[in-house]
């Protein structure tokens, strides 16, 4: 019998499949479709210090083998997440979750993580550094190794739980950013976030998205994600959560061979609400097909 269990910084998951932040709400919404306790964990909707309405519409555009989104981190703010969203999730999900946190200043990240640190449901922090730095001319924290390290250190100071930094692929050398986060004390990294993209409406001759550009996700970006996870695995010793275009059990295995200790499934949830369950149900058969007894044995196996 195959073993699908994996471990992230001391947190054991029954399987490596985690719905990605922003594609699974706060989790309880999917409990109407299936028993979400089959999931390895859940990366809850990105949370900021204050409530955010998000970007103007339209926010979504289809692409070949993927989609663009410019939702703009819509969420009710950390206090509502603590007082309303996490208690609702606790009614239907009994495992630790990954708390995805965003911010527009280093103080925002620290404040939000500190508030969430005492929540028993939070097992790991996933810090999204693809946000624009409002005090730094709008440059994303994730494009500068020094800024990425500053955010990492600030969050580590106020938390007692593992901190994973979510990296942007829109950089020259993602390995350099990952190494800077590791040096600053990160317990792990997760990658990749979405790639920047655009669609233009031929009738109006204007960008489809109100925000003009958005983040590309879906099967189209899997090869990019694999190459970046592979590269980062060679640069750091901390665990990697791999994501980007995963939609099957075979994709999970491929991502783990590249170096991921666990994976996140994003856009697939928006196409098929049962995607994560389908992937998890198919994992044992795929492992047997490729002669894999323990998933942990194949992490980084392609190197």
What number of helices (H) and strands (E) belong to the chain?
Answer: 9, 15
Distance from C-alpha of 151 to C-alpha of 219, rounded to nearest angstrom: 30
Residue that the structure tokens 């911010």 belong to: 103
Distance from C-alpha of 237 to C-alpha of 13, rounded to nearest angstrom: 20
- Catalytic position from the list 38, 113, 131, 276: 131
Exposed, middle or buried by CB within 10 Å (0-12, 13-18, 19+), for 115? middle
Q: Is 131 a catalytic residue?
A: yes
Distance from C-alpha of 170 to C-alpha of 192, rounded to nearest angstrom: 9
Whole-Å CA distances, 286 to 81, 146, 249: 37, 41, 7
Active site residues: 131
């Amino acid at each position: 019998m195959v073993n699908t269990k994996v471990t992230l910084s001391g947190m054991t998951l029954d399987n490596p499949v985690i719905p990605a932040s922003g594609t699974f709400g706060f989790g309880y919404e999917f409990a109407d479709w299936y028993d979400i306790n089959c999931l390895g964990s859940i990366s809850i909707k990105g949370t900021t210090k204050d409530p955010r309405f998000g970007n103007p519409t339209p926010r979504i555009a289809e692409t070949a083998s993927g989609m663009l989104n410019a939702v703009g981190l819509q969420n009710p703010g950390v206090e509502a997440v603590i007082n309303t969203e996490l208690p609702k999730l606790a009614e239907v999900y009994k495992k630790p979750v990954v708390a995805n946190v965003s911010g527009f200043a280093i103080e925002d990240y620290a404040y939000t993580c500190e508030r969430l640190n005492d929540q028993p449901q939070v097992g790991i922090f996933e810090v999204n550094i693809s946000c624009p730095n409002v005090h730094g001319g709008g440059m994303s924290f994730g494009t500068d190794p020094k800024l990425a390290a500053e955010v990492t250190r600030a969050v580590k100071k106020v938390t007692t739980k593992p901190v994973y930094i979510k990296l942007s692929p829109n950089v020259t050398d993602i390995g350099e950013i990952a190494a800077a986060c590791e040096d600053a004390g990160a317990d792990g990294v997760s990658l990749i976030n979405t790639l920047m993209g655009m669609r233009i409406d031929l009738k109006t001759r204007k960008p489809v998205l109100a925000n003009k550009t958005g983040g590309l996700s879906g099967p189209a970006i899997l090869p990019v994600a694999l190459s970046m996870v592979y590269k980062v695995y060679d640069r750091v010793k901390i665990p990697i959560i791999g994501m980007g275009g995963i939609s099957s059990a075979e994709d999970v295995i491929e991502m783990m061979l590249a170096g991921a200790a666990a994976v996140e499934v994003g856009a697939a949830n928006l196409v098929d609400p049962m995607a994560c369950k389908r992937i998890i149900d198919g994992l044992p058969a795929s492992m047997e097909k490729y002669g894999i007894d323990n998933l942990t044995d194949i992490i980084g196996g392609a190197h």
